[in-house]
Structure 1
Amino acid sequence: MTRRSLLATAALTLAAAAPQAQAALIIDYANFTGTCGSTLSCVGSAAVDAGGDLRVTPSSGGAGAGYSNTAIALGSGATFSTSFQFRMSDAGGIAPADGFTFVVSQNTTNLGGAGGGLGYFGVGNSVAIEFDTFDNGENSSNHVALDTNGSLSSLVQVNPYGVASCTFGNYGAAGCLSNGKIWSAFINYDGTTQLLNVSVQEANSALIQLITNYSVDIASVLGTNNAYVGFTAATGAGVQNHDILNWQLANDTSIVGPGRLPEPASLALLALAGAAAMGAGRRRRG
């Protein structure tokens, strides 16, 4: 086992063992090495690539989903917050397509329709934030939106950095979700106020808030406070890689943006994991 694998395994073990009172952080993946089939259900095209990224759908085509294989206890009124980094790259076919979703669902059948369905279409009792890179009648080929109950008739839709159209003529430009750069996303939902906030940040650009205090009753949509969480993606006549690089999720609203992640768990657990991995490496050499 590589040192990176040891680090990831140790971090996951320590995170699982940490008392809930220490932190609201209940998912903490610095990478996804060893997660498919253990802590995550990876279906369809979803797999972990050689670099430890969760490749939900590759540029060779398909539809996939990677989500928790057990239900996660959300906070009161389905409160949660999450952050992850993603990259969409290697576009081909008719256009960079189609995009991915972060999904919270009542059930484990989290793989929906392919192509413009983003692997989400038809997933009931669910809420998704879509990161869409193809115009399927939304009048935009570059938008972030809120969807519910497997429908892609978005409740609210916003263009990152004001860029509404990204095709083969300009998709590598700043503000285009498919430009191959690393993006960060921050989603925060307060079940008490029923307000949702979504922010994104393109590498080397300013953090921007796309959805601000949008009122939605997620607990009613889900019908439960115990939900499966993860990602879906799909391609059609247009393709690209849909990669999730890392992921944190808390059952409170503590994750709101860069530098403001939950205090107790992340750095301490990773430091302990690093020590464990180094110790294991020394034992193997001895």
Structure 2
Amino acid sequence: MGTARSIVLVSLLFKLFLFLSVHVGAQRTTTDFTFRGFLGNQSKIRIEGAAMIKPDGLLRLTDRKSNVTGTAFYHKPVRLLETSRNSTNVRVRSFSTSFVFVIIPSSSSNKGFGFTFTLSPTPYRLNAGSAQYLGVFNKENNGDPRNHVFAVEFDTVQGSRDDNTDRIGNDIGLNYNSRTSDLQEPVVYYNNDDPNKKEDFQLESGNPIQALLEYDGPTQMLNVTVYPARLGFKPTKPLISQHVPKLLEIVQQEMYVGFTASTGKGQSSAHYVMGWSFSSGGERPIADELDLSELPPPPPNKAKKEGLNSQVIVMIVSLSAVMLVMLVLLFFFVMYKKRLGQEETLEDWEIDHPRRLRYRDLYVATDGFKKTGIIGTGGFGTVFKGKLPNSDPIAVKKIIPSSRQGVREFVAEIESLGKLRHKNLVNLQGWCKHKNDLLLIYDYIPNGSLDSLLYTVPRRSGAVLSWNARFQIAKGIASGLLYLHEEWEKIVIHRDVKPSNVLIDSKMNPRLGDFGLARLYERGTLSQTTALVGTIGYMAPELSRNGNPSSASDVFAFGVLLLEIVSGRKPTDSCSFFLVDWVMELQASGEILSAIDPRIGSGYDEGEARLALAVGLLCCHQKPTSRPPMRMVLRYLNRDENVPDIDDEWGYSKSSKSEFGSNFVGYDSLSAIASSFVNRVSSTSRISQ
């Protein structure tokens, strides 16, 4: 009897334990919370990104900065899966949530992008994108079924720039693992007095809006109701009433509930939540009602309001832009006429050479290119002295080309001299092209050209260039040519070395200039040209045969120039006199010092004079391969190397021996060149084909 009573008692206790376990378990799986403002509840909300709880109790998801996201989730996961009664089937549990939100756009024409109420497996949306991704998804995971995210989207942007989805704008959407809504409904509420009458309103009004979401687990029905909170009552008919069996594929055992929001580039709004209640579990969970009077005051609506219709504004702006353009064009036309056509026009080749000066600045600097400012003239054009603001004096070479050749020489000088930097080269400060005028701007060289110091100045004033000055000038020119041939990144062949292209500065240092005929070559390549250019008397003999310039042809011209500096005589003044032949004749007769300019008198160093004449003759060798490179020429002049003896087999035609005797081989190549071209051009012209 006692045993039977014990069995009954144990059975009763076991049933009581099961009842309590089920009851307690059911209690543990129920989630209910209400936030009437969020101040003091910071520990219960997990926030990320731009989200924050304001001192006035408002939950701000984003401010109006560009391309930001903000998320706020309840700190504990909510159990949303359960086994239905009297069945082993798993279903999504019933839940209900209510919240009051405010969206304030930057202005009435600058809105975006909205926010979501989201069910997420995590309280953080790592790597979520801004703009149309709403802080939930990103470009890589958009549409991925592994997201397990369900979002009710409060969309405030019509379409997006990088997709073709049919977005309404100011709508509510249901999103499953994707930013593209499966269902969209324009934002309206139904009037309780007339349930069929729709009243539309704007989500981005800056006013409080109430939202209510109710999901019934057994029927899988989701109701979404949105209405202005000022109504004070809930519409009896929801905006969305949808059967959502797909939710079961999304929801996991436990999910986090909360909000996400984002802004974009040029489209931004501030998103606030004033209050939030939630309930899940039980037969029909109902979230607590939220009364505006119990919530923090809404944020001030600081959106900029426009007073005119957007179409009117567009029309006004368009007309204003057209008028502005017309006024600007009229202004420039008047200025163009006023400045006498001084504005420049760019051509394609000019873009690669940025050291371009304005014509009107040069016009002012030269006082309108007055004749009183001319410091030099020639076949190339005219050189004017000028002065730019806050700079030293300049020399402006004004070229008026009569053919395409003039433009080519102009560009060649910019491309070569514009990049070269050496103490014995003229410094090109810039250039300008204006209509038919081609202008090159150099440093002003006060002593003029070597040609004028050798010939013009002595005739006018009797002042003769001293021997020391001549010898130092020769070495300076050699140093400049060495830089061009061997020391710069490319090989530069000058092709027109002569006294008029050498300028002398205030310290009597020479500056080689006029690179209009210069050519640049990559090292290791050979020059290929059929144009014969240069000045008669300075042209190497091989140029008459192949027309191909080289560093050796520059060396020849330097040799002639060196003999000219020493002797004070031009290379040729008629068809009967040739400087190189004359000096060779004196060398053969042992009277080499007779070649020295007699105007110098005895004021010269005999050793330097013999050295200079020997180097000059060596550079004028008939065979290009026998001429020394400029590096050796400079070593000879500096007496770092001995000059080879000049013998009777110096590479000239043996037919000339009868003319100058057995000790001298006459130089006839220069004569051949002169006789070939003397009828075509003058001795100071440039020869070209």
Deviation at 1:116, TM superposition (A): 1.1
Q: Is the 8 A contact 1:88 1:177 kept in 2?
A: yes
Q: Does the alignment pair 1:128 with 2:128?
A: no
Rg comparison, structure with higher value: 2
For residues 136-193 of structure 1, what are the alpha-carbon distances to aligned partners after superposition, in whole Å with 9 as ceiling and x for unaligned? 24342200010011x111111001128xxxxxxxxxx960100011111111112222
- d(CA) in 2 for partners of 1:78, 1:39: 24
Could you tell me whether the CA contact under 8 Å between 2:71 and 2:124 is conserved in 1?
no
Amino acid at match of 2:154: F
Give the corresponding residue for 1:98.
Answer: 113
How many correspondences in the alignment?
Answer: 230
The structure with the largest strand share of the pair is 1
What SS does the corresponding residue of 1:209 show, helix, strand or coil?
A: coil
Instruction: Tell whether the 8 Å contact from 1:127 to 1:218 is kept in structure 2 after alignment.
Output: yes
Distance, in Å, in 1 between the alignment partners of 2:130 and 2:28 is 40
Change (3 A) 1:22 1:152: closer
Once residues 191 and 101 of structure 1 are traced to their aligned partners in structure 2, the CA distance between those partners, rounded to angstroms, is 21
Which structure carries more helix by proportion?
2
Distance 1:63 1:22, change over 3 A: closer
Aligned match for 2:274, one of 245, 261, 273:
245
1:37-86 CA deviation, whole Å, 9 max, x = no partner? x1111001010122211101112341110012321223633321100000
**Out of 201, 213, 228, which is 1:187 matched to?**
213
Matched, 1:226 2:254: yes
For residues 131 and 198 of structure 1, the distance between their equivalents in structure 2, rounded to whole angstroms, comes to 11
Map of 2:182 onto structure 1:
155
2:285 match: secondary structure: coil
Specify the SS of the correspondent of 2:239: strand
The equivalent of 2:613 in structure 1 is none
> Residue in 1 aligned with 2:135?
119
Aligned: 1:32 with 2:38: yes
Could you tell me whether the CA contact under 8 Å between 1:113 and 1:120 is conserved in 2? Answer: yes
Distance across 1 between alignment mates of 2:175 and 2:81: 21
Q: Give how far 1:94 is off.
A: 5.8
The secondary structure found in structure 1 opposite 2:76 is coil
Match of 1:44 in 2: 49
Closer, same or farther in 2 for the Cα pair 1:35/1:20, shift >3 Å? farther
Structure 1 contact 46–66 (Cα < 8 Å) conserved = yes
The structure whose RCO (Cα within 8 Å, separation 6+) is larger is: 1
What's the secondary structure of 2:268's corresponding residue?
strand
- What TM-score, normalized to structure 1? 0.71
Amino acid at match of 2:156: T
8 Å contact from structure 2 (residues 103, 271) kept in 1: yes
Change (3 A) 1:201 1:69: same
In the alignment, is the contact (CA less than 8 A) between 1:28 and 1:249 conserved in 2?
Answer: yes
SS at match of 1:193: coil
Structure 2 counterpart SS, 1:179: coil
CA-atom RMSD, angstroms?
A: 3.0
> 1:220 Cα shift?
2.3
1:263-282 correspondence runs (5 A): none
Change (3 A) 1:41 1:204: closer
For the 8 Å contact 1:56–1:64, the answer to whether it is kept is: yes
Structure 2: where are the runs of 5+ without partners? 1-24, 83-90, 142-146, 160-164, 190-198, 295-689
**Paired residue for 1:276?**
none
Equivalent residue runs for 1:64-79 within 5 Å: 64-74=70-80, 76=82, 77-79=91-93
The aligned counterpart of 1:169 is: none
CA–CA separation in structure 2 for the residues paired with 1:251 and 1:232: 20
State the alpha-carbon separation in 1 of the partners of residues 151 and 78 from structure 2. 16
Structure-2 residue corresponding to 1:273: none
Contact 2:98–2:288 at 8 Å: present in 1 too?
no
Q: Which runs of 4+ in 1 moved over 4 A?
A: 19-25
Deviation of the 1:106 alpha carbon? 1.4
AA of the residue aligned to 2:211:
A
Listed as ranges, the matches of 1:174-213 within 5 Å are 175-205=201-231, 207=235, 209-213=238-242
**Paired letter, 1:58:** D
Answer whether contact 1:27 1:250 (CA < 8 A) is retained: yes
- Which residue of structure 2 lines up, in the alignment, with residue 217 of structure 1? 246
Q: Is the 8 A contact 2:30 2:79 kept in 1?
A: no
8 Å contact 1:194–1:217 — kept in the other structure? no
Q: Secondary structure at the match of 1:116?
A: helix
Q: 3-state DSSP class of the match of 2:188? A: helix
In structure 2, what is the Cα distance between the partners aligned to 1:120 and 1:21? 31
In structure 2, how many angstroms separate the alpha carbons of the residues matched to 1:115 and 1:52? 26
* Residues 212 and 224, structure 2, Cα contact 8 Å, conserved in 1: yes
Q: Deviations over 1:204-227 (max 9, x none)?
A: 3463512113323323212x2311
Identical-residue share of aligned pairs (%) = 28
1:59 aligned to which of 61, 64, 67? 64
